[in-house]
């Protein structure tokens, strides 16, 4: 039984690349392209990790992050945020909302795997 990750990313080529990368590492990847149902799906899935894009249709990554962090059951869940805009304001907002790690697109496969391993190390 592999670890579970919920990937919330609306750019399908990026989502597919991450899914492929993590699947090869033994992860079970649940993909969502819309922010509106993300919190619900994450609550049901109880994943080991969430990969969350900042800009999403339906609900922003920041809103999803805040909602999850407000729930004691998900207060310590590792959440890696992805953004195409590496602005420091985005990073600050994410850190204030309780993100575990922040990554700017494009990123290399090795960067992604290193972050995932670090965030989910026992």
In tens, the pLDDT along 11-65 reads 999 999 999 999 999 999 999 999 999 999 999 999 999 999 999 999 999 999 9
Provide the pLDDT for residue 84: 86
Q: What angle do CA 111, 28, 38 make, to 5 degrees?
A: 85
pLDDT band at 1 (very low <50, low <70, confident <90, very high): low
The CATH code that applies to domain 4-120 is: 3.40.50.2300
Q: DSSP letter for 74, please.
A: G
Inform me whether the pLDDT recorded for 71 exceeds 90: yes
Across the chain, mean pLDDT equals: 95
End-to-end Cα, the chain, rounded Å: 16
pLDDT band at 2 (very low <50, low <70, confident <90, very high): confident
Q: Which residue ranges make up each domain of the chain?
A: 4-120
3 state SS for 14-62: HHHHHHHHHHHCCCEEEEECCCCCHHHHHHHHCCCEEEEECCCCCCCHH
Inform me whether the pLDDT recorded for 90 exceeds 80: yes
pLDDT band at 73 (very low <50, low <70, confident <90, very high): very high
């Amino acid at each position: 039984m592999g670890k579970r990750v919920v990937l919330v990313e609306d750019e399908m080529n990026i989502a597919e690349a991450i899914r492929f990368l993590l699947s090869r590492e033994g992860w079970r990847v649940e993909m969502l392209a819309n922010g509106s149902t993300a919190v619900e799906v994450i609550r049901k899935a109880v994943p080991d990790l969430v990969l969350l894009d900042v800009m999403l249709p339906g609900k922003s990554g920041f809103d999803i992050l805040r909602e999850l962090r407000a729930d004691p059951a998900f207060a310590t869940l590792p959440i890696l945020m992805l953004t195409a805009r590496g602005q420091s304001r985005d990073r600050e907002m994410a850190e204030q909302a309780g993100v575990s790690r922040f990554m700017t697109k494009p990123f290399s496969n090795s960067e992604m795997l290193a972050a995932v391993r670090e965030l989910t190390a026992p």
